[in-house]
Amino acid sequence: MSAVQAPPAHLAPEPSIDVVARAVDLVKVYGSDKTQVLALDRVSVDFARGSFTAIMGPSGSGKSTLMHCLAGLDHITAGRVFLGGQELNALPDKALTKVRRDQVGFVFQSFNLLPTLTAKQNILLPLDLAGRKPDQDYFDQLVASLGLGDRLEHRPSELSGGQQQRVAVARAMITRPDVIFADEPTGALDSKTSSQLLSYLRNCVRELGQTIIMVTHDPKAAGYADRALLLLDGHIVADLAHPSTETLATAITGMDS
């Protein structure tokens, strides 16, 4: 994958000052009465624009839940969530849907794409839904940088796992969202394809000022991020800056004891 051109001036990042996503005393409870599960217990955290954050933790720690709440995919039980300046918990469904469409990008572990559409149609889907015309130059850039040029007319069933993920990334980026949420994006990929994808994501952050919040259980993947949050039983138990794979591995093993 090749590097991407420098962004237009208005997207120049100011990492330390601009908060693009925030949770304040976030509580999320699943189920009712006897089967109640406290997934998130009064979590408060800020995410700066232009940062690459990894959220980690064992299963049941609440890391996916945190991402869903921040992204407006799920309703919270208590507390407040902000995204791109808007308070998500106060928004009605229609407005929330619009936020997801215009201000957020998603990359999931698998099943990212609509099987009936071609790669190109999948990439342009968010713009299509919004009724906006794509910026042809930007589209060409994205496609070229992700190496998808000869795959545009293929359906997902005709693409490899890695290609499908790259299409998903292109789709996530086409709307130039405030935040890209990635849920175990490399979970279904082999190590070589994984590192290629992760490098690309890191480049987007460095060169374009894109904000990425990634949920992962893989310390190697988290190593590509500038910041790692560790969750356990609904709390943030560690907030590491510039984590290396080794420190992460130690921290995680330490959590079990």
Question: Can you say how many angstroms the Cα of residue 173 is from the centroid of all Cα atoms in its chain?
Answer: 11
How many positions of this chain bind another protein (CB under 8 A)?
31
Q: With binding defined as CB under 8 A, does residue 101 bind another protein?
A: yes
Distance CA 251, CA 230 (A): 9
- Beta-strand ranges (E) seen in the chain are 19-30, 37-48, 52-56, 78-83, 86-87, 104-107, 179-183, 211-215, 227-232, 235-241
Shortest distance, CB of residue 238 to another protein, whole angstroms? 25
Longest dimension (CA), the chain: 55
Q: With binding defined as CB under 8 A, does residue 92 bind another protein?
A: no
Among the listed ranges 19-27, 124-132, 135-143, 207-215, the one in contact with another protein (CB under 8 A) is 124-132
Q: Where are the alpha helices (DSSP H) in 45-132?
A: 63-70, 93-103, 119-130
Shortest distance, CB of residue 21 to another protein, whole angstroms? 16
Q: Is 39 exposed, middle or buried (0-12, 13-18, 19+ CB in 10 A)?
A: buried
| Exposure on the CB side of residue 205, measured as CA atoms within 13 A | 25
Shortest distance, CB of residue 9 to another protein, whole angstroms? 27
Q: Which is nearer to another protein, 108 or 138 (CB)?
A: 108
Q: With binding defined as CB under 8 A, does residue 125 bind another protein?
A: yes
Residue in the block written with tokens 């496609």: 143
Shortest distance, CB of residue 72 to another protein, whole angstroms? 9
Q: Which is nearer to another protein, 184 or 226 (CB)?
A: 184
Q: Which of residues 30-89 bind another protein (CB under 8 A)?
A: 68, 73-74
Q: With binding defined as CB under 8 A, does residue 112 bind another protein?
A: yes
Neighbours of 177 (CB within 10 A): 23
Binding track, positions 150-169, relative to another protein; x by CB under 8 A? -----x-x------------
| Exposure on the CB side of residue 118, measured as CA atoms within 13 A | 9
Identify the residue among 2, 5, 97, 250 touching another protein (CB under 8 A).
Answer: 97
Shortest distance, CB of residue 3 to another protein, whole angstroms? 27
DSSP state at residue 178: S
Identify the residue among 44, 114, 244, 246 touching another protein (CB under 8 A).
Answer: 114
Q: How far is CA 20 from CA 13, 86, 154, in A?
A: 11, 10, 35
Q: Which is nearer to another protein, 38 or 251 (CB)?
A: 38
Shortest distance, CB of residue 60 to another protein, whole angstroms? 13
Shortest distance, CB of residue 159 to another protein, whole angstroms? 13
Binding site for another protein (CB under 8 A): 68, 73-74, 93-94, 97-102, 104, 106, 108-112, 114-117, 125-126, 128-131, 155, 157, 183
